[in-house]
Each structure stands twice: as C-alpha cells, then as structure tokens.
Amino acid sequence: MVEEEPHPTWDTKTSIAINSIRVLNALTAESQVNLKRIRRVRSYVTLPTNRNVRITKTALKRRDDIVLEHMGSDDATGLVKAEWVEYVPDASFFAPASPHSVKDESSNTDPAVLYLHGGGYALCSRKTHRGLTWKVAKHAKSRVLAIDYRLAPEHVFPLALHDAISAYSFLLSNGRPASKIIICGDSAGGGLALALTLWLRDNGPSHNLPLPAGVILMSPWLDLSHSLPSFKNGKFDLLREKVIDSTVITETRSHFYISDNSFLKHPLVSPLFAQENLLAPLPPLLIQVGDAERLRDESIVFATSQFSQSPIRLEIYEGMVHVFQMLASFIKVADRAMERLGSFAQEAIARQEQQDSCGLAEFERRVEWISNDAKHDFPVRSMTSAEVTELLEGSSGQVAEEVSSVMAEVTTSGDSAESEVEFLGSCDEGPMVPMPER
C-alpha cells in the first residue's frame, strides 16, 4: 500500500511529484513484475535533456590486467558501453548541441565526472539517468562520463566494480590528471562510487591510479545488511522494504548484487563497514541524503563515526526522499542540491590546482541541515555532534515503537514475528553499527 500522507515540509508540487513515483513503485511491487520485464520497460525510458546537451557515445576497454578476487580472467575482457554528456551553454533553439556525435578523446585534459547510475545494481542505465547526468555536467561545469556497468543478478560483485575501475582508468589514459576527475553516483551507484574510491585508496598506487579530486554521493547505498534503524523509514520514501523475486532471492541470498549473504558486510559491497586509514586518507567527499529516506542513517554513521577523521561534508535535506535530486527542475530544493553539488565539484578541482601552486588548504569537515523552506531560500545550518546523535536516536525510537507494535500483534494473534523483529535490527546480537558518541 502507498502511504498518501505528505511530509509536513512538502508543498503541493512536491507531494504530487513524489507520490506519483511512489504509486508506480507500489504497483510494481504488488504485481511482482519480474526483473526482465521491468528492464524491458525501462530500456525505453530515456529522460529528456534539452537543446544545450550533447551526447557522445563511446566504449571503453576493460582492464584485463586487473583481476579482482572472486572474478575470473574472462570477466576482465570485453568493452563497457558509455557516453559523454556535455552541457553547451551557448547552444540555442536554432543551433542546438549536436546529439550522438563522435569526438576524439585522445588528448582531452578538461575536468570530468565519472558517473555511476543507481538502480539497486540490477536496473537502469546511462540512458535512464540522463535527467541527472546533464544537470551534473551543467552545475559542475565538467564533462560527464556515464557508463553501463554490468548488472546483477547475471553479473554479481565484483564485476560492476571492475567496470568502474576500467572507466576510471580510461579517464586517466587519455592525458587527464586525477586532480581533474570527480567520481559521482546515486543510490547503488553512490555505493559503487565509494567502493571504487576505497579500492583506489588501497590498490591504486600499485596500478598507477591516483585518487580523484573529489567524490560526490547522492543517497548512497552503503549497507546491504540494512542494519540501521532508518531503513524502516518507509512512510515517505520511494524505496521498497525488500526485494521480491523468488527466482533469485532466497534465505541465503538477500540481494541481486551478491552471490550469497557472506558478502553482506564486505567493505567493497557495503562501504559502511570499511575501515578508515589516516595514513591513506580519502579525497574530499560530499554526501547528500534526504531526511525522510530509508538510507539516511548509513550516510550519517559513515560520515560521523566510521570515517570521523576523513574530509567529508554531509548534507541532510529536510523532508527529502531517496535521490530527490532527480526531481531537479520540478522542485526547488532539488535545484539547490544540484547547485551545491556543482559548487563542490568545482571547488574540489580548484583545491587540487591550488595544492600544485601553494600547498593544500585545509578541508572543513561539517554536517549541514538544509531546511526545506523556499520562502527563506533553504537556510543551511551546521549540526553539532549532539544534534546528529539525537537524530539517530530518534530514528531508533521509531523502530522501537514498530517493534512494540509487532510484539503486540504477536501477543494478540499468536503468530511468530521473529524474522520481522530481526529485520528491524532489534535483536541483541544484531549487526547494528555503533552510533557516534556525544
């Protein structure tokens, strides 16, 4: 069922936009449409761009000299389909940016964003995400390379990661320095972007692959074990609670992306469980997450607890849902998020250029709350550690209420609710990630 109640901060336009998507998601869930059919429908979905956007199709060779653990040498061969997305400001109705052109990339040293699309590692493509990628190109003032990485369940971890490594290598191979590259992704693509960054941190030096200038994550999926309370935050969010596909999902395999649940806490599958390394720090990260989405807590815990000393800027948008940035041009707060995303990308690259000339300026870590208040231009305020902890504890309190409700139903009906209580993360031996201390 779709919860029709709007979030208190939503205006009419926001409610209509978000509820329309929620209704479509609910219809898909209730009819249990299989994955192949959903893919077939979405293959025809190419979100509109505009006359200022140039699309350049390309393909890149997989790194056959890099074979990751849990993959074979044959998996490191072949090509990855991709496209360049450019925003051309001076295009007009009478002289639009030429679409699907062919352009030489052999000596390009312009700034670039490597974009990894979302879709639960099983859906979507570079085409379905053009509505986002052209806006990233516009606001970051960079070309965007969007790739079609291999999708699950046909291709499980680490094949998508290998394609991402190959794409990053491609950007470096034609003369572009790492200091002019931003890695960006949404949802599962955000998790993949962070996994790529962690792999580069640990393995890049041995393959001559330096870290990028910065990383941007939109509502990233960082915890496939769903171990944090906000995953039950489904009252307003777009995401479903669980995957329903008995042909793939079993008691020992909870997700398309992994072959079995032994991978749930692998740090390159669920980066929430990765370890911070102060001797090999990450590049500056921007994480944007909605206050009303299921994946909220994992971004908060990653930024404030697991990687508490790393150069991370976390932005929490009041009342917003999963990957709300896709509604840019429809709702103003999403436009503001895209503007801030673009500014971060430009600043990260400029910061690297400054390092080359006069030393690296200190990066300011902060957690920011962006109010959904258009009348006052979406005011931004820094959150204290106590406020962050209170936000997480409030999420835990909501879960406790749901557990109490479940147990009351058990008492009344006599039906077992053990599996549901475990899913809520309430068991003493559950996989909860520690919350930050005050």
Residue 169 corresponds to which amino acid?
S
Work out whether strand 112-116 and strand 181-186 pair parallel, antiparallel, or are unpaired: parallel
Q: Which residues pair with 366 in a beta bridge?
A: 313
pLDDT of 156 strictly over 90: yes
40 or 327: which leads in pLDDT:
327
Three-state helix/strand/coil letters over 164-203: HHHHHHHHHHCCCCHHHEEEEEECHHHHHHHHHHHHHHHH
Confidence class of residue 29 from pLDDT cuts 50, 70 and 90? low
Range 201-225 burial, b when 16+ CB lie within 10 A, else e:
beebeeeebebbbbbbbbbbbbbbb
In 51-204 the beta strands, taken as DSSP E runs, fall at 53-61, 79-87, 112-116, 143-147, 181-186
Per-residue pLDDT of 199-236, as tens digits, reads 999 999 999 999 999 999 999 999 999 999 998 877 88
Q: What are the tens digits of pLDDT across the range 229-276?
A: 998 877 889 887 776 677 788 889 999 999 999 999 999 999 999 999
Q: What residues are paired with 115 via a beta bridge?
A: 146, 184
Residue 359: its pLDDT value, please?
A: 59
Strand partners, 382: 368
What is the percentage of the chain residues whose pLDDT exceeds 70?
A: 78
Cα–Cα separations (whole angstroms), residue 169 to 53, 57, 84, 173, 186: 25, 18, 15, 6, 21
Topology (CATH) of 12-383: Rossmann fold (3.40.50)
Domain range annotation of the chain: 12-383
Phi, psi of 245 (to 5 degrees): -160, 90
* Burial call 84-115: b when 16+ CB within 10 Å, e when fewer: bbbbbeebeeeeebeeeeeeebeebeebbbbb
Is a pLDDT exceeding 70 seen at residue 371? yes
Predicted pLDDT at 358? 61
Report whether 263 contacts 253 (CB < 8 A). Answer: no
The pLDDT value given to residue 353: 82
Confidence of residue 413 (pLDDT cuts 50, 70, 90): very low
Residue 21 makes CB contacts below 8 A (sequence gap 6+) with 238
Average pLDDT score, the chain: 85
Catalytic position from the list 293, 298, 315, 318: 293
The pLDDT of residue 294: 94
Which residues face 173 on adjacent strands? none
293 assigned to active site = yes
